[in-house]
């Protein structure tokens, strides 16, 4: 027994064999229990979803996602930390050990923070399909900005835990930040513009935009630029700063389309027929599906024709629906006016021939 006591008291790396044994037991228990808890929570979450019980409560779902985002390296660091509490190390070794543990801990906090940001974005997206479409377009921007904030805070807090004075560092970063901002102000302007787009949401992915002389469907809203797919097929890349400075027409927000067209009939058309034409055009338009008639009037005397102006509303926003409706209306009006023996006015041109007096007559 005395030999066994002496063995337990044998010093190894400034700690007795007994202390090393206790530390090993704590490490093994911790490193065994924590992965079991993590696996249990993840399994229960997957089983809940697989059984079709619907969405988990937000708090429980967040805990489940954070648990799945916990790395085994972090669990190893936690086990080593608890085991090391029963041991004594030299100051240099203790310092290195502290740096490793603190670094791993705050890295894991950063991963948890980014997972929480994504969870909150998806949670808002589940409230409505429209909001989910908006968030899909601005997801990269929001995550990018949130990532900068989260990892900057993690870095500063980790330095503070390691005993580094961060106030002088913040002052230096402020001065250096001004210099960097002046050097890359164009890029920063685009980044800030992307944040403005993400928050204000003047357009989302899928909207059809007219930006100055360019037109196209929004394919991607990036941190620096927005990409449009034009009607002819090529991709148009516009910086976010330029797109916010421009006058943007967002056809994707149209709920209905107002259509205006004119037709001219011959000046020889009797007044009785002129009075009937608006009513006939109204009947034709009201017979179309997904269309609301507004007005039709004999509006003006043209140079070569009596001008009628017609306005109606297509209850669908896409251009193809409007074009189909306008085509059917044009054909029906043509048939009706021919039936009424009303002629369309054709442009005429009078040519005056002047004979040159100096030219002998033939």
Confidence grade of residue 300 (pLDDT, cut at 50, 70, 90):
very high
129 vs 152, residue with greater confidence: 152
Q: What is the pLDDT of residue 298?
A: 94
- Does residue 19 register a pLDDT over 60? yes
**pTM for the model:** 0.52
Confidence grade of residue 272 (pLDDT, cut at 50, 70, 90):
very high
Distance in angstroms between the alpha carbons of the first and the last residue of the chain: 148
Q: Is residue 330 part of a domain?
A: yes
Q: Which among 131, 164, 186 is the end of a domain?
A: 186
Q: Is residue 354 part of a domain?
A: no
Element (H, E) at 292: strand 291-301
Please report, rounded to a whole number, the percentage of residues in the chain having pLDDT higher than 90.
23
Q: Are residues 66 and 151 in the same domain?
A: yes
Q: What is the pLDDT of residue 306?
A: 93
Q: What is the pLDDT of residue 174?
A: 61
- Does residue 30 register a pLDDT over 50? yes
Tell me the average pLDDT across 77-85: 85
Q: What is the pLDDT of residue 131?
A: 47
Q: Is residue 347 part of a domain?
A: no
48 vs 182, residue with greater confidence: 48
Q: Are residues 17 and 121 in the same domain?
A: yes
Helices (H) and strands (E) in the chain — how many of each?
Answer: 11, 10
Q: Are residues 166 and 43 in the same domain?
A: yes
323 vs 52, residue with greater confidence: 323
290 vs 201, residue with greater confidence: 290
Q: Are residues 22 and 122 in the same domain?
A: yes
Q: Are residues 237 and 280 in the same domain?
A: no
What is the Cα–Cα distance from 230 to 359, expressed in whole angstroms?
Answer: 59
Q: Is residue 75 part of a domain?
A: yes
Q: What is the pLDDT of residue 294?
A: 94
- Does residue 23 register a pLDDT over 80? yes
DSSP string, 184-204: THHHHHHHHHHHHHHHH-S--
Confidence grade of residue 347 (pLDDT, cut at 50, 70, 90):
low
Tell me the average pLDDT across 165-172: 68
Q: Is residue 74 part of a domain?
A: yes
Identify the top-confidence range among 54-58, 130-134, 176-180, 233-237.
233-237
Write out the residue range of the structural domain in which residue 297 sits. Answer: 257-339
Q: Which among 186, 210, 230 is the end of a domain?
A: 186
Identify the top-confidence range among 85-89, 246-250, 287-291.
287-291
Confidence grade of residue 21 (pLDDT, cut at 50, 70, 90):
confident
Domain count, the chain: 3
Q: Please report, for the domain that includes residue 302, its CATH number.
A: 3.30.70.100
List beta partners, residue 11.
Answer: 16
What is the Cα–Cα distance from 258 to 311, expressed in whole angstroms?
Answer: 7
Please report, rounded to a whole number, the percentage of residues in the chain having pLDDT higher than 70.
79
Tell me the average pLDDT across 27-39: 86
Confidence grade of residue 332 (pLDDT, cut at 50, 70, 90):
very high
Q: Is residue 128 part of a domain?
A: yes
Mean pLDDT of the chain: 80
Q: What is the pLDDT of residue 362?
A: 46
335 vs 125, residue with greater confidence: 335
Range of weakest confidence among 173-182, 214-223, 313-322: 173-182
Per the listing, tokens 């302007």 go with: 189
Q: Are residues 224 and 148 in the same domain?
A: no
Q: Is residue 353 part of a domain?
A: no
Range of weakest confidence among 115-129, 155-169, 269-283: 115-129
Q: Which residues contact 125 (CB under 8 A, 6 or more apart)?
A: 131, 132, 135, 136
- Does residue 275 register a pLDDT over 50? yes
Q: Which residues contact 22 (CB under 8 A, 6 or more apart)?
A: 86
Q: Which among 250, 267, 288 is the end of a domain?
A: 250
2 vs 13, residue with greater confidence: 13
User: How far from chain centre, in Å, is Cα 297?
Assistant: 45
95-104, Cβ contacts within 8 angstroms, sequence gap of 24 or more: 98/162, 99/162, 101/77, 102/158, 102/161, 102/162, 103/158, 104/73, 104/74, 104/77
Rounded to the nearest 10°, the torsion over CA 214, 216, 220, 226 is 10
What is the Cα–Cα distance from 263 to 287, expressed in whole angstroms?
Answer: 19
Element (H, E) at 214: strand 214-221
Confidence grade of residue 77 (pLDDT, cut at 50, 70, 90):
confident
Q: Are residues 227 and 161 in the same domain?
A: no
């Amino acid at each position: 027994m005395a030999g066994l006591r002496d063995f337990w008291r044998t010093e190894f790396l400034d700690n007795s064999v007994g202390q090393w044994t206790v530390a090993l037991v704590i490490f093994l228990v911790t490193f065994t229990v924590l992965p079991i808890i993590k696996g249990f929570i993840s399994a229960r979450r997957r089983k809940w979803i697989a059984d079709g019980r619907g969405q988990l409560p937000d708090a429980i779902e967040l805990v489940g996602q954070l648990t799945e985002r916990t790395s085994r390296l972090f669990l190893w660091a936690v086990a080593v930390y608890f085991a090391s509490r029963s041991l004594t190390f030299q100051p240099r070794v203790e310092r290195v050990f502290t740096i490793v543990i603190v670094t791993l801990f705050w890295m894991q906090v950063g991963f948890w923070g980014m997972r929480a940001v994504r969870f909150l974005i998806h949670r808002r997206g589940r409230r409505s399909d429209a909001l989910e479409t908006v968030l899909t377009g601005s997801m990269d921007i929001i995550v990018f900005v949130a990532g900068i904030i989260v990892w900057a805070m993690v870095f500063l807090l980790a330095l503070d835990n390691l005993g580094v004075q961060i106030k002088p560092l913040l002052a230096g970063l402020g001065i250096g930040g001004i210099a960097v901002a002046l050097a890359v102000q164009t890029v920063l302007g685009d980044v800030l513009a992307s944040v403005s787009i993400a928050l204000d949401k003047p357009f989302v992915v899928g909207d059809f935009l007219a930006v100055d002389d360019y037109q196209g469907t929004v394919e991607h809203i990036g941190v620096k630029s927005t990409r449009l797919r034009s009607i002819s097929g090529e991709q148009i890349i516009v910086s976010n700063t330029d797109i916010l400075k421009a006058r943007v027409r967002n056809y994707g927000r149209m709920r209905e389309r107002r259509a205006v067209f004119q037709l001219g009939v011959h000046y020889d058309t009797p007044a009785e027929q002129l009075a009937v034409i608006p009513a006939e055009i109204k009947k034709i338009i009201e017979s179309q599906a997904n269309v609301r008639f507004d007005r039709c009037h004999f509006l003006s005397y043209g140079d070569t024709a009596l001008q009628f102006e017609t306005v109606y509303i297509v209850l669908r926003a896409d251009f193809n629906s409007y074009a189909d409706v306008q085509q059917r209306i044009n054909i029906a009006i043509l048939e009706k006016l021919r039936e009424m023996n009303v002629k369309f006015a054709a442009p005429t041109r009078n040519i005056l021939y002047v004979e040159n007096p100096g030219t002998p007559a033939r």
